[in-house]
Amino acid sequence: MGSFDFARDDSFFVMESLDQIKSRIEAAVPGAKIEIVQNGSPSQQRSLLIDNEHAVAIARFLRVDPALCLDFCSNVTGIDWLDRVVKKTTKVKTLVDGQEKEIVETTEEKIPGYLEAVYHLYSMTHKHGPVIVRMRTADRAEGTRLPSFTPIWRSAEFQEREIFDLYGIHFEGHPDLRRILMWDEFEDYPMRKDYREPDDYEWEPTPHDAVLEKAKQHYTPRPELDGAEAIVEPLKG
């Protein structure tokens, strides 16, 4: 006892803006394609969408660059974006019968689904952050491959395994990519938005909505008791 010191240094550095970081990465990693993803919420946390090919080089730059020194990868997570249709309405001026008219045109744009991995990077040396980096897979079925950041930040090890387990993103270069929370024989990816849980309904006295529909397939509805749609437990034995 008594040999313990207390922290004396409470200073922290102000990080450069995301646009500056973007241009510095582009200068340092030739050929890197970076896009700033806007964020509409009041949190104002914008992120960098980086291309998978140069991802490891970009990550290494963020880690070792003396001004940034993002040595602490706090949070790694996956997101599932399903196929979606974005409707765009544009007003187009056209000549109809010699008169100029405004016509509202609706164009539908199909955006194929993809999986996304998001990394929240902080610096323990300079005490600043976060720089949010995201990568997208080509699609949701075959091309769910992304480079792993575990060789750069050890903290991504379990979290990337978790993403592999729950979302099915294969991280290339991960030293030990196995299922972590689900058992090894499990086949689906439960955190995906289109995951359907298996029909392992267990009897419960007050089923609702979706559970009720499921319950009806297994048990008989309660006879005219009080109008309730509850389900009767089968007689045992």
Partner 1 sequence: MIGTGILKGMAVTARNFVGSYFEKDRLITVQYPEERVPLPENYRNFPFLIYDGNDSHAGLRCVACKICEKECPPQCIYIVKSDDKKPDYMGKPQFYAKVFDIDISVCMSCKICVEVCPFEAIKMDKEFELSQRERFNHLLLRKNDLAKSNEYYHRIHPVEAASVDKGLADAAAAAEAKKKAAAEAAAKAAAAKAAVAKATETKPSPDAPPPSQASS
Partner 2 sequence: MSATIETLEAMERPPVSMASRLQGELLEVSMGPQHPSTHGVFRMNVALEGEIVRKLKPVFGYLHRNHEKIGENTSYLGSMPYTDRLDYFCSMTNNWAYALSVEKLAGIEVPERAEYLRVILAELTRLQNHASLLGFLLSDMGAWGTPLMYAFREREKILDLFESLAGSRMMCDYMRFGGCRVDPSDEWLAQAKQIAERFPKFLDEFEDLILGNEIVIGRTQNVGKLSAELAVNAGITGPMLRACGVNYDIRKVDGYGFYPRFKFRIPLGEHGDTYDRLMMRALEMRESVQILKQAFAQVQPGPVMNPKAKIRAFRPPVGEAYGHIEAPKGELGFYLISDGSPNPYRYRVRPPSFINLTILEDMCLGHTVADVMVILGSVDIVMGEVDR
Candidate residues 109, 142, 185, 187; the one interacting with partner 2 per rule CB under 8 A = 185
Using the minimum distance from each CB to partner 2, give the nearer residue, 192 or 222. 192
Residues 6 or more apart whose Cβ sits within 8 Å of residue 97:
none
String of b and e for 66-98 (b: at least 16 CB within 10 Å)?
A: eebbbbbbeebbbebeeeeeeeeeeeeeeeeee
Closest alpha carbon to 138 in 111, 163, 109, 113: 113
Q: What is the nearest approach in angstroms of partner 2 to the Cβ of residue 32?
A: 23
Site string for partner 2, 126-165 (x = CB under 8 A): -x--x-x--------------------xxxxxxx------
> Is position 208 an interface residue for partner 1 (rule: CB under 8 A)?
yes
Closest alpha carbon to 35 in 122, 107, 133: 133
Candidate residues 12, 13, 195, 203; the one interacting with partner 1 per rule CB under 8 A = 203
Q: What is the nearest approach in angstroms of partner 1 to the Cβ of residue 189?
A: 25
Residue 211 three-state SS = helix
| Residue 33 and residue 51 in contact, taking contact as beta carbons nearer than 8 Å | yes
Task: Extract the tokens encoding 109.
Answer: 């744009």
Site string for partner 1, 214-233 (x = CB under 8 A): ------------xxxxx--x
Cα 46 to Cα 18: distance, rounded to the nearest angstrom: 8
Interacting span for partner 2 (CB under 8 A) from 25-33, 54-62, 74-82, 139-147: 74-82
Residues in contact with partner 2 by CB under 8 A are: 1, 3-7, 9-10, 12, 39-43, 45, 71-75, 77, 79, 118, 120, 124, 127, 130, 132, 153-159, 166, 178, 180-185, 190-191
